[in-house]
A and B are shown apart, each in its own frame.
Chain A
Amino acid sequence: MAKKHFGSKTINLIVFIVLSLSILVFILYPYLSIFIESFNEPGQTFFDFFVNNLDLTKNSLFIAITTMILSTVLSTAVTLIFVFISKKWQQILRLILLITMVSPPFVTSLAYITLFGRRGMITHDLLQLTINPYGPQGIILMEALSFTSLNALVLIGLINQLEPSLINSARSLGAKVDSIIKDIIIPLLRPGLIVVALISFIRSLADFQTPTIIGGSYKVLASEGYLAVISMGDIHQAALINITLAIPALIGFFLYIKYDRIVTTQGHENSGGQSPFPLPKKGAFFWISSVLSIFFYIALILQYGSIVLNAVSEKFMGKFHFSLQPILQTGPYLNDTILRTVSYSIIAGLLGSLISFFIIYYSQVKKNKWMQFIEMVGTFPYILPGTFFGLGYLYAFSKPPLQITGTAIIVVINVIFKQVAFATKAAKAATNQIEPTYFKTVHDLGGTVVNEWNDVFFPMTKHGFALTFLNGFISTMTTIGSIIFLVHPGQNMMTLVMFDVVQQGQYQVASVIACLIILICLIAAGIVFGIINLSERDWSHVFRSQRSNQEVQS
């Protein structure tokens, strides 16, 4: 027994130290390096840069704030529709939202130019107008559309956690649909809305692709930071720009933590009972959100339809013809990249989730203050632009003591630690579902920390772990900014190839790659949900027996 405890304590200590060190080395150190470098390097100081480029900051903030408002309204509308429709429709729309989380900006922008450009089908051919689509309006619309899928999925998750009895009793007391939404659903969604708004704000600040495609002469920080690197080779300037970006992002983040706490602590179990949805289809909320949702889904269909169309057609004298040429052309661009991207995504999904669940074990279950700090550090890659994280890696790991630039490992490490931010959030939500008394019981029965992991923590968060994995997998499949400055020949990833062919104007090839990425993500989602469903029976059995144990104890 004593020996067992000793072994367990050692494992406990090792896990604790490895976790702390890895987060400090692979997240905190790169950020510190970039700060130190940009203050030490000769050239413009941060203050000079900031004062001389106030316009850039203003533009970025304008875009980010407007996008935030627009996307939050749109995702609320898309979410509210879910309380009016049947389970089957919910599943279909959810799948569409899941697919469209993968949203390469070039698609959105191309569709937009085709429809609303200076010679767009709607503006020019139909309305006889020649409107300039380039500028802030284009960026805002494109970003708001492409952020809405993820936002809506977050909010729909909250709707599913609503207490059914609350709405059922409101309905049986004769409450109007509008007042149910206004007085019950919206207030319950509010913390989620704030989180979603801040996610949009931060993503918009960090987006460097959309402004370069549709911004025209309108310049924002993120795109100028990227262009400073590729056009002038000016990495110092890029660092300064990224630090400027970090300021509003950090402010947004501290607001986020404040409200995020409310969201995660709110997620309690349903008390059971009849599902109150769908609500009758009437009321102002129904009509407004229907109109906005229809607009949103039409926009999605147009965009993704155009990807598929581009992937299987060729143009001749201005007309499209069916052709397999784009698919055949794509071969040389991808080579071994597909296998590499999928493996990296699996590794990042698994290790990122594992690290995050361990962090949450210490920070939430054990309430360890140090680990709570580590958890906060782990959130940085999420709030700061991806290119910033990548540049940090380039600075930090190109010199001793840890010189790993140019290796495949640095890319893998980067994508793993980039997941930690979102994965710890998901892990926290999953852990909140466990009764704290279980851990106590294990302890009281003489169990060790390792027993707690084996018998309570991991078995009871299986579900959450699988979803966290899926999230990590998808976001690695679609990541660009953080690895674009890290890959060397023979280490390319699918999104980077796609980004590159877009730059070269090979939209057909880009469309084929986009389709492949979406397909791979769908397959992964299918497998993960399949596994969850298979284990559901087994799972509910365990759950029931545990619940009865609990009853016996009490």
Chain B
Amino acid sequence: MKAIKKIGLLAVFLMALLVVTACGNNSSKDSSSNDTKSSQQFKGKTMNVVATSDAYQPLFDKFSKQTGAKVKVLSMSSGEVLARMKADKSKPMADLWFGGGLDAFMQAKTDGQLEKYQSSSVKKIDSQYRDKDGYWLSKGLTVGGFVVNKKVLKEKNLPVPKTWADLADSKYKGEIIMSDPAVSGTMYAIVKGIIDQKGEKAGWEYWNKVNDNISFYGKRGKDPQEKTASGEFGIGIIPVDKMAFDSAKQNDLTVVYPKDGIPWVPEGVAVFKNAPGKKVAEAFIDFMLEPKNMKELAKLDGKDTDQIIMPGVKGLDLGLNKKDLMKENLSTFGSDRTAVLNKWSDMVGDK
């Protein structure tokens, strides 16, 4: 029976391993939350979060310390969240959905996948940054601009572009990179923002010209930033935040806020329908809306004061000016997405 005994032992060992991994994080998180005096109202409870990045961990840690709730984060794009909810209707993806393009939140609301929640402090947020029915709210704005590699432009004797209109000039042919707006929420916001600003006809004419200057579209949101930094392209269309400025410093680039208007999009936050940790997620939204936490969030996000949705909260100073933000029509932001993207893919063809 030697081998059988060994297999038995193996089974016990594997079970133990599974238990250790499952509980190991329990004990570590618990001990860290014990030493605070604040009310541990959610002790022993867990909040599962899908977020756009793991960088928010410090804010979640602070929440854990205050409430005793354990927070587990998974970084995931909003498209993936939608897809997985479509394929697996048996249970919510998580409790809290933190960050990501607003169009996905609007879609999820239409599909009945979100839980309504009106925080008592939600009134402090401008009404255009939250759902009128209370299904989602925004945690801040993403703004679009471009990053320029001066060395590359100099080699080609090209001036640094100052406006969106400049990008349509044929002298920049082959030197511009942007991501596929189907993949990057920010790019979609820029495309839609400019169409909103210029009007349907002039807007598409503009993008047609820009398209002629672009040799291919990045399949990842970060492509324009990276490929401009490595000198592959002279101009990259990017979300402008602290990371963009940091990378500019590291790689000797220039970040440009276009003079003819800055497109923007709010990043969503919502509670999932039937979430087991609904109460904790709601408490987190209250927690996030406290000015001091809003400020901490802006720091983690690397946001300028004018990207913060709550008046009076100070963020970083990245040189943004609120009155430069474009006039946009958010009501069609979600509902137009498929139509805009279809038209877009017809326009760009195989790029």
User: Which listed residue (B17, B89, B231, B249) contacts A398, Cβ 8 A?
Assistant: B89
* Interfacial chain A residues near B28, Cβ < 8 Å: 336
* Chain B 240-286 interface residues, beta-carbon cutoff 8 Å to A: 247, 249-252
A488 within 8 A of B: yes
Interface string of A443-460 (1 = CB under 8 A from B): 000000010011001110
| Chain B min CB distance to A505 (Å) | 3
Q: Are A489 and B94 in contact (CB under 8 A)?
A: yes
Point out which of B24, B58, B74, B183 has the most chain A C-beta atoms below 10 A from its C-beta: B74
Q: Are B350 and A343 in contact (CB under 8 A)?
A: no
| Chain B min CB distance to A170 (Å) | 43
Knowing A119-B231, A453-B4 touch, does A343 contact B183 (C-beta < 8 A)? no
Q: Are A450 and B49 in contact (CB under 8 A)?
A: no
User: Which listed residue (A223, A332, A354, A505) contacts B225, Cβ 8 A?
Assistant: A505
B53 within 8 A of A: yes
Q: Are B219 and A215 in contact (CB under 8 A)?
A: yes
CA distance A339 to B22 in the complex (A): 10
Q: Are B350 and A316 in contact (CB under 8 A)?
A: no
Q: Are A503 and B54 in contact (CB under 8 A)?
A: no
Knowing A217-B215, A230-B79, A332-B58 touch, does A351 contact B220 (C-beta < 8 A)? no
Knowing A332-B57, A405-B91 touch, does A233 contact B79 (C-beta < 8 A)? yes
CB closest residue in chain A, given B85: A233
Q: Are A117 and B232 in contact (CB under 8 A)?
A: yes
Knowing A113-B230, A235-B83, A394-B87 touch, does A458 contact B3 (C-beta < 8 A)? yes
* Interfacial chain B residues near A350, Cβ < 8 Å: 10, 14
A183 within 8 A of B: no
Knowing A315-B251, A403-B90, A454-B4 touch, does A394 contact B84 (C-beta < 8 A)? yes
Interface string of B216-231 (1 = CB under 8 A from A): 1101111001110011
* Interfacial chain A residues near B90, Cβ < 8 Å: 398-399, 403, 405-406
User: Which listed residue (A315, A351, A488) contacts B94, Cβ 8 A?
Assistant: A488
Q: Are B215 and A454 in contact (CB under 8 A)?
A: no
Interface range on chain A: under 10, 10 to 19, 20 to 34, or 35 or more?
35 or more
Q: Are B86 and A235 in contact (CB under 8 A)?
A: yes
User: Which listed residue (A335, A336, A351) contacts B14, Cβ 8 A?
Assistant: A351
Q: Are A217 and B79 in contact (CB under 8 A)?
A: no
| Chain A min CB distance to B179 (Å) | 10
CA distance A344 to B22 in the complex (A): 11
Knowing A458-B3, A504-B53 touch, does A398 contact B24 (C-beta < 8 A)? no
* Chain B 186-234 interface residues, beta-carbon cutoff 8 Å to A: 215-217, 219-222, 225-227, 230-233
CA distance A505 to B241 in the complex (A): 14
A234 within 8 A of B: yes
Interface string of A377-408 (1 = CB under 8 A from B): 00000000000000100110011000101101
Q: Are B249 and A233 in contact (CB under 8 A)?
A: no
B1 within 8 A of A: yes
CB closest residue in chain A, given B57: A332
* Interfacial chain B residues near A173, Cβ < 8 Å: none
B77 within 8 A of A: yes
Q: Are A216 and B17 in contact (CB under 8 A)?
A: no
* Interfacial chain B residues near A492, Cβ < 8 Å: 74
B154 within 8 A of A: no
CA distance A405 to B89 in the complex (A): 10
Knowing A113-B230, A454-B3, A485-B84 touch, does A332 contact B54 (C-beta < 8 A)? yes
A487 within 8 A of B: yes
| Chain A min CB distance to B223 (Å) | 8
CB closest residue in chain B, given A342: B21
| Chain B min CB distance to A301 (Å) | 21
CA distance A549 to B249 in the complex (A): 75
* Interfacial chain A residues near B73, Cβ < 8 Å: 489
Q: Are B79 and A231 in contact (CB under 8 A)?
A: yes
B48 within 8 A of A: yes
* Chain B 49-98 interface residues, beta-carbon cutoff 8 Å to A: 49-50, 53-55, 57-58, 72-77, 79-80, 82-84, 86-91, 93-94
CA distance A490 to B277 in the complex (A): 14
Q: Are B230 and A119 in contact (CB under 8 A)?
A: yes
Knowing A233-B83, A336-B25 touch, does A212 contact B4 (C-beta < 8 A)? no
List 18 additional A-B contacts (Cβ < 8 Å) besides A119-B232, A212-B220, A217-B350. A113-B232, A132-B215, A216-B215, A227-B219, A229-B83, A233-B79, A315-B251, A317-B252, A332-B57, A333-B54, A347-B17, A350-B14, A394-B87, A406-B88, A412-B18, A450-B3, A488-B93, A500-B54
- Ordered by A's residue number, 15 sampled pairs between the chains whose C-beta atoms are within 8 Å are A118-B231, A230-B79, A232-B79, A233-B82, A317-B249, A317-B250, A344-B21, A394-B87, A394-B88, A406-B90, A485-B84, A487-B74, A489-B94, A504-B222, A505-B226
